[in-house]
Amino acid sequence: MTHKNKRLLEIIFLVLSSLLIIYIAATFIRPKKILSDENYLPEPRIEFGIVVDSFQVVKNEVQEGENLSSILSRYHIDGTAIDKLNKASDTVFDVRKIRAGNRYTVLTTNDKQKKALYFIYEPSDTAYVVFNLKDTLDVYAGQNRVTVKKQTAEGVIKGSLWGTFESLKIDPNLAISLSEIFQWTIDFYAIKEGDQFKVSYDQLFVGNKSIGMGSIYSAWFYHNGKPYFAFRFNDNGVVGYYDELGNSVKRGFLKAPLKFTRISSRFSNSRFHPVLRIFRPHHGVDYAAPRGTPVHAIGNATVIQAGFIGGGGNAIRLKHTASFETSYMHLSAFAAGIHKGVHVNQGQVIGYVGSSGLATGPHLDFRIYKSGVAVDPLKMISPPGTPVSQKNLALFTKQILPEKVKLDALKI
């Protein structure tokens, strides 16, 4: 074979090889489709289970004097349709319960007329009612998705417990919950500047809005130079709070019969009486509080007196055990059903703060008697509650360990 023919064959081979490669690439290797802004479809926006992209969305609050008819009439819904909606909603929601201050949403046509196609009313943060105003009138209820986020908080008391939480931008409802957990062991009317707290809890959200608190898992409060722990635990189906050793934080008596007030006078053997203008013993604690503030029984008891007693005004006396009795004086009124002989439970409202009898202003004169002798309520140690059962004590110790580590890690 001549050199010229050999060269020709090489050229033919290269050409055929190139054509083969092109054929394979075109047949078996397909280029990825490049998405442009024109063919990209965003996720639809959904509210209350409805795709709202094609509507105009109007959000507002019910104003004083407004009702379903007055709101919808602004969006071109006539009286006939509103009457049908009222009837359709009978088994779902009573439209007479639409309240000022609650939120609502109107989905309207996306044009100049803005005719309502959906009206959504929110009776609470978690619930909503959808009024379908299209051709087929319909009413149905729904629930917003609640997200639970585990949170921690810590701080130093400056002023009141409530004020401290507000200044630290912590949900003030957490202050109430802490006072309820520790109400048997800590006198929240005597907390001091410098007292400290740590807490692990659930915060509830709908979207980005906080709607309240869930469970408190653990808490620590440092008061009067002493630390107090509380851990949530389910002991044989009963959920309660216990200290680090498994002792119940709940005791036989509450620390105080009122919530969030102040002590205006303490236990004394010689106190100047503001009305009689003489010195005499005051064997109780006076809690200054607005008239009508609820007064709670500090423990389970039987009412042995409920009536007017002269200088003490309207008064209630409770017998808790063979040894302990308590009295509540200067009340403005008794709670419904409170009379001699009835049984009351710990924490039950028995009356309301007033200024009946010899009193210069609304307050509660609260007294405790042990075997007939008055004792200082602020110094009395309450009988202990039921601890974690022996069979669950090891499980309790294991479960609270991560919570205790978490509290210890919080730096104040």
* 181 vs 200: CA distance, rounded Å: 13
Tokens of 153: 């908080």
Beta strands at 103-108 and 196-206: parallel, antiparallel or unpaired: unpaired
Answer yes or no: do 112 and 76 share one domain. yes
Answer yes or no: do 283 and 360 share one domain. yes
Please say whether the beta carbons of 142 and 122 come within 8 A: no
Please say whether the beta carbons of 261 and 289 come within 8 A: yes
Which domain range does residue 198 map to?
147-242
Answer yes or no: do 167 and 137 share one domain. no
Answer yes or no: do 218 and 179 share one domain. yes
Helix or strand run (H / E) with residue 214: strand 209-223
Maximum CA extent, the chain? 142
* 249 vs 13: CA distance, rounded Å: 93
Choose among 332, 385, 320: nearest CA to 363. Answer: 332
Tokens of 368: 């405790």
The CATH number assigned to the domain holding 218 equals 3.10.450.350
Answer yes or no: do 152 and 180 share one domain. yes
Q: Would you state the pLDDT for residue 154?
A: 95
* 327 vs 346: CA distance, rounded Å: 14
Please say whether the beta carbons of 165 and 171 come within 8 A: yes
Answer yes or no: do 320 and 290 share one domain. yes
* Residue that the structure tokens 């409170």 belong to: 338
Answer yes or no: do 164 and 123 share one domain. no
Residue 318 falls inside a structural domain: yes
Residue 286 falls inside a structural domain: yes
> Which of 111, 143, 175 is where one domain is finished?
143
41-51 burial string, b = 16+ CB within 10 Å, else e?
eeeeeebeebe
Q: How many domains does one find in the chain?
A: 3
Q: How far is CA 41 from the centre of its chain?
A: 40
The CATH number assigned to the domain holding 352 equals 2.70.70.10
- Supply the pTM of this predicted model: 0.65
Answer yes or no: do 228 and 168 share one domain. yes
Answer yes or no: do 266 and 235 share one domain. no
Look at phi and psi of residue 48 and say left if phi exceeds 0, alpha if psi is from -120 to 50, else beta: left
* 50 vs 349: CA distance, rounded Å: 45
Query: Secondary structure of 11-79 in the HEC alphabet?
Result: HHHHHHHHHHHHHHHHHHCCCCCCCCCCCCCCCCCEECCEECCCCEEEEEECCCCCCHHHHHHHHCCCH
3-state percent breakdown (helix, strand, coil) of the chain, nearest 5: 20, 35, 40
* 301 vs 324: CA distance, rounded Å: 9
Predicted confidence (pLDDT) per residue in 307-324, tens digit: 999 889 999 999 998 889
> Which of 126, 143, 160 is where one domain is finished?
143
Answer yes or no: do 294 and 358 share one domain. yes
Please say whether the beta carbons of 243 and 230 come within 8 A: yes
Beta strands at 363-370 and 103-108: parallel, antiparallel or unpaired: unpaired
* 47 vs 409: CA distance, rounded Å: 40
CA distances from 168 to 178, 179, 261, 312, 405 (A): 16, 17, 21, 41, 23
Residue 19 falls inside a structural domain: no
Helix or strand run (H / E) with residue 231: strand 226-235
Q: For each successive 10 residues of the chain (412 residues), what is the average pLDDT? A: 60 63 60 53 83 92 94 92 86 91 94 93 93 88 92 92 88 88 82 92 89 93 93 94 95 83 56 44 81 94 95 94 92 96 95 91 91 86 88 96 94 85
Please say whether the beta carbons of 350 and 258 come within 8 A: no
Answer yes or no: do 136 and 153 share one domain. no
Residue 161 falls inside a structural domain: yes
Residue 323 falls inside a structural domain: yes
Look at phi and psi of residue 101 and say left if phi exceeds 0, alpha if psi is from -120 to 50, else beta: left
Q: Would you state the pLDDT for residue 30?
A: 55
Determine phi and psi for 179, rounding to 5 degrees.
Answer: -65, -30
> Which of 91, 118, 143 is where one domain is finished?
143
Answer yes or no: do 75 and 134 share one domain. yes
Residue 35 falls inside a structural domain: no
